[in-house]
Amino acid sequence: MSSSFKRGSGSQSNALAWRREVNRQQEIALSKAKQYQATEKARRAKEYNEALGRQEKESLPSLSGEVDSNETPPRSLFAPGSRVWLYMERVKPALTKKLAHRWHGPFRIKKKVEEFAYELELPN
C-alpha cells in the first residue's frame, strides 16, 4: 500500500486546524466555567450558612439566666387515664385505603412515654 491519498489541500488543512483550535478553546472554557461554578456554589453556601447562623442568634433570647414569669411550661396534651382514639396510617395491603378503618378506639392512656408518645391499654 502506498500513502498516495492527499492529506488535504491548503484551505482544507487550514479549516481542520481552525476546528481543532475552536474545540480546544471550547474545552478550556467549559472546564473553567465548571470550576467557577463549583467555587461560587461553595462560596454561596458558606455565605448562606453564616447568614442563617446570624439570624438564628438574633432570634434566640439572651441566655442571661432571666426567667420570664409570664412563660408557662408546656402542658401535656393527655393525662394518664384519658380516653383517646388511635390513628393507623398503614393498612393491610389487601384493603383499599379509602374503605379501611384507620381510627381505632377509644383506648385509655396507661402512661406517657415521651413528649408525644403514650402507652395505651389495649383490649385483650
Q: pLDDT tens-digit profile of 79-116? A: 899 999 998 888 777 777 777 788 888 999 999 998 88
Based on the fold, state whether residues 24 and 56 are members of the same structural domain. yes
CA 40 vs CA 34, 47, 53, 64: distances in Å: 10, 10, 20, 39
Alpha-carbon distance of 42 to 68, in angstroms, equals 41
pLDDT value of position 62: 58
Residue with cell 393507623: 88
In-domain check, residue 45? yes
Please work out, in degrees rounded to the nearest 5, the angle formed at the alpha carbon of residue 83 by the alpha carbons of 79 and 89. Answer: 105
Residue 37 lies in domain? 10-61
Asked, for residue 44, whether it belongs to a domain, the answer is yes
Residue 3 domain-assigned? no
Q: Is residue 67 part of a domain?
A: no
Q: Quick one: 55 and 15 in the same domain?
A: yes
Indicate whether 63 pLDDT > 60.
Answer: no
54 and 16 both lie in a single domain: yes
Number of domains in the chain: 2
pLDDT at 60: 64
Cell of 96: 383499599
- CA atoms of 14 and 20, how far apart (whole Å): 10
- The fraction of the chain above a pLDDT of 70, given in percent, is 83
Residue 70 lies in a domain: no
In a domain, 34, yes or no: yes
Judge if pTM exceeds 0.75. no
Q: Which helix (H) or strand (E) holds 124?
A: none
Do 88 and 57 lie in a common domain?
A: no
Residue 69 lies in a domain: no
Look at residue 39 and tell me if it is in a domain: yes
Those residues whose C-beta lies under 8 Å from the C-beta of residue 113, and which sit 6 or more positions away, are 119
Q: Are both 15 and 57 inside the same structural domain?
A: yes
51 CB-side CA count, 13 A: 6
3-class state of residue 108 by DSSP: strand
Q: Indicate if 56 and 18 belong to the same structural domain.
A: yes
